[in-house]
Structure 1
Amino acid sequence: MEARQLTDHHYTKQEYLDFIESCEYKYEFLDGSLRMMAGAKAAHNRIRRNSFLALARKTEDCEVYDSDTAISVYLLNKIYFPDLSAVCGEAEDEEGGIERLRNPSLIIEVLSKKTATIDRGEKFQAYWKLPSLKEYILIDSLSMLVQSYYRETEELWRIGNYTQPEQEMEVLSLGVTVPLAVVYDGVVFPEVTGEFTD
């Protein structure tokens, strides 16, 4: 989703929660600043839906959440809305306001032109502050490319790259695999490649 940061007012977390409960749009909370999440394009939405349905069907021990569920990076006083997330074990929610998970095992972001830098940089650096996070997966919406980062130790991440429809994307935190052909089912890529388009 496209992001637009609002910096004209410093919000407390409670002000943010009160505001977003009655707001028609999603806003992320960045330690006092708000960033509006605008609508995504068809490829982005299809990838997110395909991935959610595939993962929700395959896993029994973990619960998969869509983009309506926020993640609280409580150590940094930030709240994000990833495209998908999952919790293995009992979910820890922050009290009051919108649903905010504190202990995701898995976070998935679908990359677009306007969010790729944020997803790869700011958000990844924030998410890895969560002790519960085992895996971060980035799915390109312009071309068939999935990059996964699995935390084997506090300092060591295992990296996976998937680029072919016959490849099985390993989701190690959930103990499942999903073919890229399923993730990208129905997605039409633009003819010009090399940069994001949504």
Structure 2
Amino acid sequence: MAGPARMDTRMRVAKYRDWIAPRPDCERWELLGGVPVLQGPQPGRHQRIITNIAKHLDDLAERRGCGAYPGLAILSEAMDDYAPIPDVVVQCGEPPDDGYTGDPLLVVEVLSPSTLVLDRGRKTEFYQTVPSLAVLLLVHQDEARVEVWRRAPDWTVEVAGPGAVIDLPELGGALSVAELYARLTF
């Protein structure tokens, strides 16, 4: 005898976009595994790192007709129950009107103790399903350490520590790890 059918209660991106549209702009939600998750404010250290990264990436990206944006949601046809919002996204062409992009070139996640497992786990798996994504930077908050994930054609990972320079041929330049942590002490 068959048991009762389980209903899939995960939200898909289309329903999520309808659900989030009337919400106030001050709320920052992302869709993770079909569940809307409200993000709280980040500590100043986290925000300083994001500001440093966005500033340097935007300078590099502008020369290529791209821009660095904090707060764009990423979409992937391969995983229709995710719309994460990384800390910084580099996208080429015009900025999206609706806050979503399916064609990021580079994504940055600043790792917090409370989100480390998720950011290095399911989110990283999700980002790897986005065909246009060439580079994923996982930036540690409490030490000068950056994991550089690069599609070449399979994903590889290198770790950049203090004094290192991260080569970004996709943007025709490089990022100094020291620049990412400017105005911070450990």
Same structural fold, with TM-score higher than 0.5 when normalized by the shorter chain: yes
Which of 32, 35, 40 lines up with 1:30 in the alignment?
32
Task: Give the drift of 1:159.
Answer: 2.3
| Counterpart amino acid of residue 160 in structure 2 | Y
Please say which structure displays the higher CA radius of gyration. 2
Name structure 1 gaps, 5 residues minimum.
Answer: 1-8, 190-198
% of aligned pairs identical? 23
User: Helix, strand or coil: the match of 1:106?
Assistant: strand
Gap change, CA 1:32 and 1:50, over 3 Å in 2: same
- Is 1:186 equivalent to 2:176 in the alignment? no
Equivalent pair of 1:111/1:140 in contact (CA under 8 Å)? yes
Q: 1:5-60, CA deviations, whole angstroms, 9 ceiling, x for partnerless residues? A: xxxx7545444223423233111123532111111111110011001101111231
Q: Indicate the residue corresponding to 1:63 in structure 2.
A: 66
Q: Indicate the residue corresponding to 2:6 in structure 1.
A: none
Aligned-partner Cα distance in 1 for 2:131–2:56: 26
Q: Indicate the residue corresponding to 1:4 in structure 2.
A: none
**Runs of 4 or more above 3 Å deviation:** 9-15, 90-93
| Counterpart amino acid of residue 32 in structure 2 | L
| Counterpart amino acid of residue 139 in structure 1 | V
User: Helix, strand or coil: the match of 2:126?
Assistant: helix
Equivalent positions of 1:80-159 (< 5 A) are 80-88=84-92, 90=93, 98-153=98-153, 156-159=154-157
Gap change, CA 1:158 and 1:173, over 3 Å in 2: farther
Q: 1:90-118, CA deviations, whole angstroms, 9 ceiling, x for partnerless residues? A: 4695x8xx321001111110001011111
Task: Give the drift of 1:149.
Answer: 0.9
User: Helix, strand or coil: the match of 1:105?
Assistant: strand
Aligned length: 174
Gap change, CA 1:179 and 1:10, over 3 Å in 2: closer
Aligned-partner Cα distance in 1 for 2:10–2:128: 25
Equivalent pair of 2:147/2:159 in contact (CA under 8 Å)? yes
After alignment, is 33-42 or 141-150 more displaced? 33-42
Aligned-partner Cα distance in 1 for 2:114–2:33: 21
Q: Indicate the residue corresponding to 2:3 in structure 1.
A: none
Gap change, CA 1:57 and 1:113, over 3 Å in 2: same
Gap change, CA 1:31 and 1:180, over 3 Å in 2: closer
Equivalent pair of 2:57/2:68 in contact (CA under 8 Å)? no
Task: Give the drift of 1:74.
Answer: 2.7
Q: Indicate the residue corresponding to 1:47 in structure 2.
A: 49
Name structure 2 gaps, 5 residues minimum.
Answer: 1-8
TM-score in terms of structure 1 length: 0.78
Aligned-pair Cα RMSD in Å:
2.2
